[in-house]
Amino acid sequence: MRILLQIAATFTTLLAIIWSTNAMAEESPRAIVEKATTGIISELNRYSIDERTDELVKSLVLEHLVPAVDQQRVAMGALGKHWRRANPEQREAFIVRFRDQQIRTYSGAFRAFDGEGFTIGDERISDNGDRAFVRGQLIPKSGQPIPIDFRLYQNGDGQWRVYDAVVAGLGMVKSYRDQLSQRLENMTIAQLLEELESE
């Protein structure tokens, strides 16, 4: 499960990489996925795994991922029904702490990236035009290709943003939601926030 989440995190991060350079405006979801993956794979291949320091990888994530992802949408999806139980202060705290947890996950996934390839397939856009699904495949150096598909939405500014990655049929947000739901069976939101702070 952790490996699949790291793979999903890596390629969600790939999608974020071009956000600051062209703001994703007026581009198709497929074009965004393609540019992002091509760009970051090229950048990662400039460094060996040993050269990818924690500082280098974290700065890359902070620069490109954080501005590109709708942190509230992801946090709401991860908490699921428990989002309604949280007060406004707890919601804000969860968004920040969950984002920090994702940054650590993404950074670890980036450091482990070792020259895998990635291909982009078709895109499907919803009938009302504000949701999209883009197919992709991770091509490892050995073994079978791993399907990694992306869910995007179009925000009020007309920009496409990724809000989930689906690895081999397993949605990243749902995986987080399942894990957090189990934890919240035996603790309060406040206790969960304390645990996230210490992780």
Q: Shortest CA distance to 85 belongs to which of 9, 180, 169?
A: 180
- Please name the fold of domain 2-198: Nuclear Transport Factor 2; Chain: A, (3.10.450)
Any residues with CB less than 8 A from the CB of 199 and at least 6 apart, and which? 101
How does the average pLDDT of the chain come out, rounded?
81
What's the rounded Cα separation, in Å, for the pair 57 and 62?
Answer: 9
Kindly tell me if the per-residue pLDDT of 94 is higher than 90: yes
Encoded amino acid at 67, one letter: P
The 10 Å CB-count burial string (b at 16+, else e) for 121-141 is: eebebeeeeebbbbbbbbeee
What's the rounded Cα separation, in Å, for the pair 115 and 42?
Answer: 9
Model pTM score: 0.74
Place 20 in a pLDDT band, splitting at 50, 70 and 90: very low
